Amino acid sequence: MLEPPKSVGIAGLGAVGAAVARRLVQGVPGLRLRAVVVRDPARVAALFPGAEVAATDFEGLARDCEVVVEALPRALFRAVAEPAIEHGRVFMPLTVGALLDADDLVERAGRTGARIIVPTGALLGLDAVRAAAEGEIASAVIETRKPPEGLRGAPYLEEHGISLDGLDGPLRVFSGSAREGARGFPANVNVAAALSLAGIGPDRTHLEIWADPGITRNVHRITIEADSARFTMQIEGIPSDENPRTGKLTPLSTIAALRALVTPLRIGT
């Protein structure tokens, strides 16, 4: 007997949220977009003409949807996360860096029966990192290089007076822990946060961020030293046309993570 489609709610219809919503409306077996949270409710009818998608608030999203996808600025993270976890939902955050300061939400999810599922996003090899973490990982390093436009407006740059204007070569703008990087570049380094959660934690994961005017893609290079393996991985993601701070792979990864909730065959750990 076929189960009814799992209801999905999305908080935020920016570049990533809107792309995920469109794919769900087009049709993903076993999933149904039920509701969204958006600043202007009129956008729902404009984006999804003829579709039965409700505009609601954060509490309504958590109450009515089995899966809640967060795709909003970091300042609104808890407004989405807390009711979803309180209602025992599957919570899928895309602002992964916010999880590094949310141990209380993880603990609360353990009591309410909620599940927090982090999509791979623009990263690769998380399965290998998670496997290595079952043994001993000595070091985890991620180097992120982005076109200057993809880093503009980051709080860390403004606080430290770092200008990206007129660069004629690569400039290292940050070197430190993944936790520090997630706070200073909240819209840019969710990949480092995901890596740290899969591996040895945000304080031991080292992050470097470079502004590079000579590239057109978002480049992430990861090096892991463990007692089971040494591996280096690199991915070059194409920036989103709507928002250069994120990549085109991120919404596709989110759809893949949603699909894994309902598919009878799941590949990877």
Q: Report the C-alpha gap between 115 and 109 in whole angstroms.
A: 6
Among 175, 160, 187, 174, residue whose Cα is nearest residue 95: 187
The dihedral sign for the CA sequence 80, 82, 86, 92: positive
Q: Report the C-alpha gap between 18 and 139 in whole angstroms.
A: 36
* Amino acid letter, residue 71: A
* Amino acid letter, residue 232: T
3-class DSSP assignment, residue 177: strand
What are φ and ψ of residue 100, in 5° steps? -65, -20
**Helical (H) or strand (E) element with 221:** strand 218-226
Assess whether 220 carries a catalytic annotation: yes
Q: Report the C-alpha gap between 109 and 185 in whole angstroms.
A: 26
**Helical (H) or strand (E) element with 207:** strand 205-211
Q: Where are the beta strands (DSSP E) in 29-114?
A: 31-37, 54-55, 67-70, 90-93
Q: Report the C-alpha gap between 137 and 149 in whole angstroms.
A: 34
Say how many Å lie between the first and final Cα of the chain, rounded. Answer: 27
Query: What crossing angle do the helices spanning 77-86 and 103-112 adopt, rounded to 10°?
Result: 20
Catalytic residues: 220
